[in-house]
């Protein structure tokens, strides 16, 4: 089916949260789309600037994701994540991507506001949904160092000045966590949701335990970004397969269980984020 705008996916996901999962390989995209079809939940396929660099350019992996989304029976959007380059944003939009995250978080506040506002104006002229970040979301020596959080009044000002459609906020999570021990500030999430007039986005969700993700959605978090968790499970599946059959040389033999592991986890997480579902985690 045609790509679904992120704004519509957010509405479709309510009262639950919208699952947004990062794609590195074709297998990621296939697994995420299959999980969305199985659970009948909307989903976002996300491509980070780092993934684009890994592939050498945006076109091959973006076009694959766009085609997977178009061929799927699920409601799917394709999103460019953590883009710092205006040129990359233009390239993504030229290919057909209609949702981007501009990451000006390493800039000082004034420069971040100016750059975000400029990019947002251009994107809106091209019917593109814009997510931005106020401060740095953890794992980058930024706003998720202990005690650093997004201020609700600053967030309101940032959104009003830049015109963005969604805002990634610092509430206790951190990028690239391999343990699920992050403790979110649910009072802050509720306070942000009450004041900020656009959907809130949780980055670094791989480090948040199941009950923390559910609570975040209940307190007002809208879009839940997950990347590292899928990579950990895919890699574990590959290691297990190769340990059991060390003579395997055909990548399909070990990428198939990796893809299955990603699909299973995404299915579980999509059900977890559904406010009307109470899934049981599958046994290992």
* Residue positions counted in the chain: 284
Q: Please say if 185 is a catalytic residue.
A: no
Q: Please, what sign has the CA dihedral across residues 17, 18, 19, 22?
A: negative
Residue tagged active-site, from 75, 81, 103, 165: 81
Residue pair 13/86 in contact (Cβ under 8 Å)? The answer is no
Contact (Cβ atoms closer than 8 angstroms) between residue 170 and residue 139: no
Bridge partner list, 132: 102, 167
Neighbours of 54 (CB within 10 A): 11
Tell me how far apart the alpha carbons of residues 254 and 250 are, in angstroms, rounded to a whole number.
8
CA distances from 98 to 42, 74, 115 (A): 16, 17, 19
Please tell me the distance from the alpha carbon of residue 26 to that of residue 227, in angstroms, as a whole number: 14
Q: Residue written as tokens 């009307």? A: 276
Q: Which residues are catalytic?
A: 81
């Amino acid at each position: 089916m045609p790509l679904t705008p992120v704004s519509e996916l957010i509405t479709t996901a309510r009262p639950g949260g919208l699952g947004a999962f990062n794609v590195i390989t074709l297998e990621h995209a296939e697994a995420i789309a299959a999980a969305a079809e199985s659970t009948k939940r909307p989903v976002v396929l996300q491509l980070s600037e780092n993934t684009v660099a890994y592939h050498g350019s945006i076109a091959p992996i973006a076009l694959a994701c766009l085609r997977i989304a178009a061929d799927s029976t699920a409601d799917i959007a394709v999103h460019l994540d953590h883009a710092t380059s205006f040129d990359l944003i233009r390239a993504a939009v030229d290919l057909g991507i209609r949702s981007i995250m501009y990451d000006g978080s390493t800039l000082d506040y004034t420069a971040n506001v100016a750059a975000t506002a400029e990019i947002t104006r251009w994107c809106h002229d091209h019917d593109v949904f814009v997510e931005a970040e106020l401060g740095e979301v953890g794992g980058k020596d930024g706003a998720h160092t202990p005690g650093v959080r997004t201020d609700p009044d600053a967030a309101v000002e940032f959104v009003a000045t830049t015109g963005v459609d969604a805002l990634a906020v610092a509430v206790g999570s951190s990028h690239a966590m391999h343990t699920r021990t992050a403790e979110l500030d649910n009072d802050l999430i509720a306070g942000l949701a009450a004041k900020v007039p656009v959907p809130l986005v949780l980055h670094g969700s791989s480090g948040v335990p199941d009950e923390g993700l559910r609570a975040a959605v209940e307190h007002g978090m809208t879009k839940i970004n997950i990347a590292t968790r899928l990579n950990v499970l895919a890699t574990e599946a590959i290691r297990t397969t190769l340990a059991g059959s060390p003579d395997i040389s055909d990548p399909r033999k070990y990428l198939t269980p990796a893809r299955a592991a990603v699909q299973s986890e995404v299915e579980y997480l999509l059900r977890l984020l559904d406010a009307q579902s109470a899934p049981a985690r599958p046994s290992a």
